[in-house]
A = this chain, B = another copy of it.
Amino acid sequence: MTAIDLPSLTRFADLLGPKGFTTDPDAMAPWLKDWRGRYEGAAAALLSPADADQVAAVVRLAGALGIALVPQGGNTSMVGGATPPATGNAMILSLRRMNAIRSIAAEDGVVVAEAGVILAHLHDAVLEHGMRFPLTLGGKGSATVGGLVSTNAGGTQVLRFGTMRALTLGIEAVLPDGSRFDGLSPLKKDNRGYDLKHLLIGAEGTLGIITAASLKLVPAILDRAVGWIGVETPHQALALLRFMEARAADAQEGFEIVPADSLALVLKHIPGTRAPLQGTHPWHVLVEMVRSDARAEASGAVLEQILGDALTAGLCRDATIAASEAQAEAFWKLRDSLSEAERASGPAVQHDISVPVSGMPDFMISAARDVEARFVGTRASAFGHLGDGNVHFHVRAPEDAALDWAKTAGKAVSAYVHDLVVAAGGSISAEHGIGQMKLEENARLSDPARLMALSAIKAAFDPKGLMNPGKLVLPGGLAQESLATRAPAP
């Protein structure tokens, strides 16, 4: 990679003007580090183009000069996906200035938003039109549309509406050669060859820069009901989910599983929290039902009926429904505080993993048992999106562990967990992506066909390796070779 000289910097400065270009260390500092403080890099400049034309011009100029670009939205990656490399030879390409909502067509259920639109702002803007963008997650106050699409983000409402992939009707992007891909038109059916939209969704900015997206809207919510349920096992929780889906699949939005020990950590470490149910239960489930059709029954009545029937049918131990919106928020706070409570209780390693839904209860039990047997003193627990086959599988360090346990002994634990996931036909990254954090594990655990295909695609789109280098695909020999040149002899 070329060192970046002053004449080169000047060309970017001239292209973007003072609002779009800075090398000021103070202005750049917040964007050189990931929000959890795990990764830190350096950058020669922070570029903030005003529109897609400027993005294309930046990409062309960077290509000609051999300068790497690290696209960045809200900088809320869980895997170091938006942090520049340490070399300092890259530039950050912030999309945050491109924050226009270009159009909202409520009747068609489509919003066109630029890459820099913050998720919470998107929620507010479409609500004014009686509509809702149904994906939400913890970082909604910072996460941007471009980042959400580029990482195929998930969150807590995936059960009903799917991940960003299912909600992205079209995209506009700049490819690594600076050409513009205009795929914003929200076509329900389009079979004109390889699906570039699906290729760029989840590509983490390594194949191009998403500049805008057409996103699906649904009617706004009229009311919601949130319940807290005690269950015996993850198996019972899954049976309960199937029961509820058969009764009201189109109203069920949240189904989160929480083990007793994780709940205990929340109650211990997070001020102002209390258990929703009397007595103790081995596992807990948070459910949310939503109503958006005025002719339908209120969510509270529906949930009460279903949970009553579930109790009668022996599908849960106990259940309660939040009596107010404040109580509903309190239930969700228990769920949303799980990671924070765990951090307060000592070192741990986290794994964002998925297996087929039907296999998840067995996996949760057997993987926790195996990990605790193999790494004596550790405590494993899994919580999260049972209905999506996606849990956050966390392993806490033994009580006497050193503070840097996660970075030392914890590595072996993670490798072991990942091996179990692969053996169960699962994914070592269900929703957080690969970024830099999971690069080596993904390379270790993917079959050769997958790895070669990833490298071949990357090399075809970005042979100079200038788009978000060091993320998603390992650089090196494979990157410049095609699949067929590596074909084994027959």
Which residues in A have some Cβ–Cβ distance to B below 8 Å?
A: 57, 60-61, 63-65, 105, 107-108, 110, 151-152, 154, 158, 163, 165, 175-196, 198-199, 201-204, 207, 242, 246, 250, 293, 354-358, 385, 388-390, 425-434, 442, 446-450, 452-454, 456-464, 466, 472-473, 482-490
Contacts and interface: CB of A to CB of B under 8 A. Distances in A.
A245 B189 CA distance: 19
14 contacts: A61-B490, A63-B487, A64-B487, A107-B242, A165-B195, A187-B355, A187-B426, A189-B427, A192-B446, A194-B207, A196-B453, A196-B454, A463-B483, A466-B484
Contact of A484 (B108, B429, B463, B486): B463
A483 B177 contact: yes
Instruction: Please list the 6 inter-chain residue pairs (A to B) with the smallest Cβ-Cβ separation, ordered nearest first.
Output: A460-B460, A198-B198, A185-B425, A179-B449, A177-B487, A456-B460
A58 to B, nearest CB: 9
Contacts of A466: 484
Copy count, this protein chain: 2
Given A57-B490, A461-B483, A464-B484, A185 B64 contact: no
Nearest to A204: B193
Contacts of A65: 490
A453 B187 contact: no
A386 to B, nearest CB: 11
Given A107-B358, A191-B427, A179 B452 contact: yes
Contacts of A192: 427-429, 434, 442, 446, 450
Given A108-B357, A185-B356, A449-B175, A191 B432 contact: yes
B482 A191 contact: no
A384 to B, nearest CB: 10
Contact of A202 (B186, B195, B448, B483): B195
A148 B103 CA distance: 35
A261 B107 CA distance: 30
Contacts of A190: 354, 427, 429-430
A454 B175 CA distance: 12
A190 B202 CA distance: 10
Given A178-B487, A191-B430, A194-B207, A457 B460 contact: yes
B447 A463 contact: no
A247 B204 CA distance: 39
Contact of A189 (B182, B390, B453, B462): B390
A460 B207 CA distance: 14
Nearest to A201: B195
Contacts of A486: 177
A63 B182 contact: no
A434 B192 CA distance: 6
A202 B194 contact: yes
A189 B356 CA distance: 9
Nearest to A486: B177
B449 A461 contact: no
Nearest to A250: B250
Contacts of A181: 447, 449-450, 453
Contact of A472 (B108, B165, B193): B193
A464 B250 CA distance: 48
B151 A191 contact: yes
A354 B187 contact: yes
A175 B447 CA distance: 12
A189 B163 contact: yes
A460 B482 contact: yes
